[in-house]
Structure 1
Amino acid sequence: MDLKEVQSVAREKMKGYCRVCPVCNGVACAGEVPGMGGSLTGSSFKINVEDLNKVKLKLKTIHDAKNPNLNFKFFDTNLDFPIITAPITGSVFNMGGALTEREYVDSAVNGSISSGTIAMIGDSADLTMYEEGINILKEVNGKGVPIIKPRENPSVIQNVKKAEKINPIAVGMDIDGAGLVTMALKGQPVGPKTIEELKEIVSSTNLPFILKGIMTPEEAKLAVEIGAKAIVVSNHGGRILDHTQSTARVLPEIKEAVDGQIMILVDGGIRSGVDVFKMLALGADGVLIGRPIVIGAFGGYKEGVSLVLNNMKNELYQAMILTGCKDLASIDRSKISVEW
């Protein structure tokens, strides 16, 4: 099995939901929500990819970084590389249903673990999907992170307590899911949170709390204030609000605002290990991968997910060699140029 074979199988299985384009840039699927596209014009999805393409690496080959160390400390867990599978749900109404929800989550979780990293599991309008994810994480001794939609606080806290029973690495909320069309269509109320509401949720658990969906320095500082231990710079893959800024563009200023106070993760438009390198150079500690994992799962189940992740890992390793980076801490702004 290789990536071309995985993509070919996924293209057939996801027909009508994802074209598995040669370049996953949001152009062909603009406005296809539900589906795999971006909201309305799809500009938020497209700008994630476009702005990341404007970041260029500085080639360096006179150095001693011959065997880079990719190890990533994620709270109390050591990962082989700084790439985590993003929380994605909705196999039936977003991906075509060729895999059941359990099959998709199982492939994402176990394919990630077999590659030396972990997956986050998601929440959705179908209340059973979160339960499925929790059950699968239980089977792997909690080696993953449940991410909960911004429902009413009692419901969020109830889901936090369900997560605690399997002792995951951390727990979190994708607050950027506040405007999801798919949730609204299913009659599941989600929305923004006040500082007080977030403090109530974070204080309800001893697990490290991750707040996903931060796109401004101001809200990054608020995440620190409420006691979150990590943020994910994310515009939800461009699926909730048209014409947002890209994650790559806002990442440096968020880094500057909260550097050293909180772990910074990022997603959006990352399609290769070179893209991972770019995000780390722009200020992220680690990255989340979404759509490529979906393609891997539909095209090759657990093995397809592992293939996608291992390919990105190898590309990151090669990029580090060719830029003179011995370890992740060596990847900084001096290793790139930005054309925006």
Structure 2
Amino acid sequence: MKEVNDKARDLMKGFCRVCKVCDGRACAGEVPGMGGVGTGSSFKSNVEALEGIRVNMRLLHDATQPDTSTEVLGYKLSMPVMAAPIGGVSFNMGGGVSEEDYADAVVSGSRAAGVIGCTGDGVPPFIHESGFAAIEKNNGHGIPFIKPWEGAELDEKLEKARKLGCTTFGMDVDAAGLVTLRQMGRPVSPKTPEELARIIEKVHSWDARFIVKGIMTPDEAELAAQVGADGIVVSNHGGRVIDHTPGTAEVLHEVAEPVKGKLAVLVDGGVRTGVDVLKMLALGADCVMIGRPVSVAAVGGLQEGVEKYYETLKGQLVGSMVLTGCRDIAAIDLNVLF
């Protein structure tokens, strides 16, 4: 991973410093780039919220070889992890690799590791096109996330994504505040429950599932369940759309509690290590999405870099489960936390 990170640091110069601790401090306000918007408070809150959580170490047990496998949204995963949808290599990551190679590294590397890669959307079109191509190459093994576009663009992209063979679609409603897209003539906007219900009904008619990303309050989690969403992602868009939100780990338990068992609860934001994954699962997540670290691994090592990151992450998760007495994913609950 040191070689991968060193290469990524060189290729991403001016866009990401590939800091030893990816906490949003050095890159605050650097959007485009990999930083958080404004003061970077929301990005930093994600990391700080996770750092502030402690775990109970337990060693008098027989959980010597924990099983990290799980099933989420119909996917059998080697561990409860997915790559978060991130795109825009040329203006966010320095352009050291092509968008096509980047998307392929994330989706193919995730598949090889037994997890799922999600793809992003945006302007220009090659962002979603590269993601779609990677998912198609991998026989539908990936989740395309489409922004909450106004007008016909949303349905057009959903129809294009339908042809990829994937079984799950996502919408990052937390992108609704990206005013730059409106200035480019490609407006995004929040969705009413009625609008969301129509979209979900359409996807369900394809015998597919739908995830809503950008849920940060219990009432909106319940709304998502009411309109038929199969999953939510507790997310503040990596701190890239609005300043001064709480970290996702701060709100996760409260958001997950009323919808547990009704839909899949995913979360992203500040997850860097296997013990971070453990903490998020203990707080109520069924699966954890990881953004920036996977992006850095993809830029620095393409598919091999992504696979190596997951290998490292899984080793950390196994170690954390041994040291907290968790023999499988189902055993991870609030008792793990101090």
Which category of TM-score, normalised to the shorter sequence, fits these structures? Answer: over 0.9
Deviations 1:307-332 (A, max 9, x none): 11111111001100111101111000
Q: Does 287-296 or 173-182 show the bigger shift?
A: 173-182
**Aligned residue for 1:146?**
144
Matches within 5 A, 1:66-105: 66-105=64-103
Q: Secondary structure at the match of 1:119?
A: strand
Q: Distance in 1 between matches of 2:110 and 2:180?
A: 26
8 Å Cα contact 2:73/2:231 also seen in 1: no
Q: Does 126-135 or 4-13 show the bigger shift?
A: 126-135
Matched, 1:132 2:130: yes
**Aligned residue for 2:49?**
51
Q: Normalization by structure 1: what TM-score?
A: 0.96
2:326 is aligned with what amino acid? C
Matches within 5 A, 1:1-340: 3-206=1-204, 207-337=208-338
- 1:182 Cα offset (Å): 4.6
The 1:36/1:181 distance shift into structure 2, 3 A limit, reads farther
2:95 is aligned with what amino acid? G
Deviations 1:253-275 (A, max 9, x none): 01112111110000000010010
- 1:153 Cα offset (Å): 5.0
Gaps of 5+ in 2: none
Q: Distance in 2 between matches of 1:154 and 1:257?
A: 34
Q: Distance in 2 between matches of 1:117 and 1:255?
A: 22
8 Å Cα contact 1:75/1:169 also seen in 2: no
Q: Distance in 2 between matches of 1:151 and 1:315?
A: 38
8 Å Cα contact 1:77/1:169 also seen in 2: no
Q: Secondary structure at the match of 2:116?
A: coil
* Count of aligned positions: 335
- 1:96 Cα offset (Å): 0.7
- 1:122 Cα offset (Å): 1.0
Q: Secondary structure at the match of 2:212?
A: strand
Q: Distance in 1 between matches of 2:181 and 2:15?
A: 18
8 Å Cα contact 1:156/1:201 also seen in 2: no
Q: Distance in 1 between matches of 2:282 and 2:146?
A: 29
- 1:31 Cα offset (Å): 0.3
- 1:154 Cα offset (Å): 2.9
Q: Distance in 2 between matches of 1:139 and 1:189?
A: 30
8 Å Cα contact 1:85/1:293 also seen in 2: yes
Q: Secondary structure at the match of 1:209?
A: strand
Q: Secondary structure at the match of 1:11?
A: helix
1:78 is aligned with what amino acid? K
8 Å Cα contact 2:99/2:126 also seen in 1: no
Q: Distance in 2 between matches of 1:153 and 1:286?
A: 32
Q: Distance in 2 between matches of 1:167 and 1:222?
A: 28
- 1:187 Cα offset (Å): 2.9
Q: Normalization by structure 2: what TM-score?
A: 0.97
RMSD: 1.1
The 1:185/1:92 distance shift into structure 2, 3 A limit, reads farther
Q: Distance in 2 between matches of 1:153 and 1:71?
A: 40
2:267 is aligned with what amino acid? V
8 Å Cα contact 1:83/1:117 also seen in 2: yes
Deviations 1:105-159 (A, max 9, x none): 0110111111111101111121232122112211111001010000025321221
Q: Distance in 2 between matches of 1:15 and 1:265?
A: 31
The 1:309/1:100 distance shift into structure 2, 3 A limit, reads same
Q: Secondary structure at the match of 2:202?
A: coil
8 Å Cα contact 1:85/1:108 also seen in 2: yes
